[in-house]
Structure 1
Amino acid sequence: MSQPRITFIGAGNMAASLIGGLRAQGVPAERIQASDPGAECRERIAAEHGIATFESNHEAVSGADIVVLSVKPQVMKAVCQDLAGSLPEQALIVSIAAGISCASLENWLGPRALVRCMPNTPSLVRQGVSGLYANPQVSTEQRQQTEQLLSAVGLALWLDEEVLIDAVTAVSGSGPAYFFLMMQAMTSAGEALGLPRETAALLAAHTALGAGRMACESGVAPDELRRRVTSPNGTTEAAIKAFQAGGFEPLVEQAVRAAAQRSAELAQQLGQ
């Protein structure tokens, strides 16, 4: 499979992370380019990754095989409508903007091969996970190219239905904040027990890191991992019982459902 020419429309943090991941995978700098209205942003990304940058979106997409839309959702409609006449006919469009449906993109760009992605913020340190949905016009080769693109910053998982993007948003897109909240609460609890706040914060953060790696690398289900660390009548069991007495599992489900509902609402608003 030949290396496609990839253009990023918008050169913010997520685009920079994807570009850095691609370069680390060995993708030549001459196969990647980006556009951004900010001169400082263009200069930084060109210096860091050795790629060509443009102020004009129209210039940037010339000859592109893949166009990654990485602008803020609020400006996506205007950017797409402006670009529609300049996009190469066979170019794959990959959107990493939250809340923008394929139907909206097709309405603004015309019928095209489209992949909608929902990466999360740990992608910025190449530890992300992304949900991907391809419309029927996307070829097998284009799916492989998209997977290579998103795999540059973490795990890429395909979805059979676009509606599931809302669930991905609720679980993994917003999910890092849930863990940050947990770490914040654990830090405060540790401080209340007498630990220096900095020590409590390090204990909470590294415990989260270690638990996550065990869940990802051990091949053991989370419920079994929890069972293994929970001795009968021990300290962990006391904590787990306190969580459950407070309705921990139903509260998590309620929170994730609220995020999914809001994701669907934003998609409807942003697509108008």
Structure 2
Amino acid sequence: MKKITASFLLACPDKTGIVAKIAGFFHLHDVNILSSQNYSEGNTFFMRVVGDISHLAESRESLEQSFQVIAQQLDAQWSVQYSDYTPNMAILVSHEDATLHELISLQRIGELNCRIPCILSNHDKLRSIAEFYDIPFHYLPITDAGKRAQEMKIEAILKEAKIDLVVLARYMQILTPEFCTPRFGKIINIHHGFLPAFQGAKPYHQAFRRGVKLIGATAHYVTAELDQGPIIEQDVIRVSHQHSVRQLINLGRDVERRVLARAVKLHLEHRILIHKQKTIIF
């Protein structure tokens, strides 16, 4: 029988005895600890604990209520995710399909533990991909009514589908604060993050003209401030003057899809704590 696990994330003011208190809690509730990681930064303590609840003698609600008592004693913020829960993930796209294919493929082979109930786009170009995988596709162009009107339609679809995570897979629209703020820590974006000097629609063309030696990508949580959210994952590859614009674009797509997939996997596995403007990842 496959184990059912509970993954707890916790952040609290640092002091002695936290690990002992948490371990004691799991022992008291007869939950075997499968893995435990912790980290301290300044005066803040961070922890991830995974316990086997396959034979839990009480309800999950009761376990959580008991843990809340410990959390209050520690002045802790915490969350829990169960391994038998499958999150719902929505993907927002525009024209590019590489990251979309990567996410769907990894989900189909079980590398990403999620459902994909919907794909949303401000263009109709990628509809055929959604139809091939039998995923509902929602074409939501930005009309004269404006961006916020379009976002409200997106929000309605996300609510109906009970979406836990929104992934911007090269979605080429800036989201409004009204959309981002209530979903802090629930939206992941991929950005050509190692080309910060090159703004606009053709960063790789600009990189080619400047003769860059590294190109890369950054996956981050979305905030109201453009491309300034907490970083989850990054990677780079070396390039030279011998690479053409087309080669730079292809290499860039490759690193973008890999970085985004890794970031999404970390989130779905409940490994990320957001602390101020950064992430703590276990």
Give the TM-score normalised by the residue count of structure 1.
0.36
Question: Which structure shows the bigger proportion of residues in strand conformation?
Answer: 2
Question: Which structure shows the bigger proportion of residues in helix conformation?
Answer: 1
Give the TM-score normalised by the residue count of structure 2.
0.35
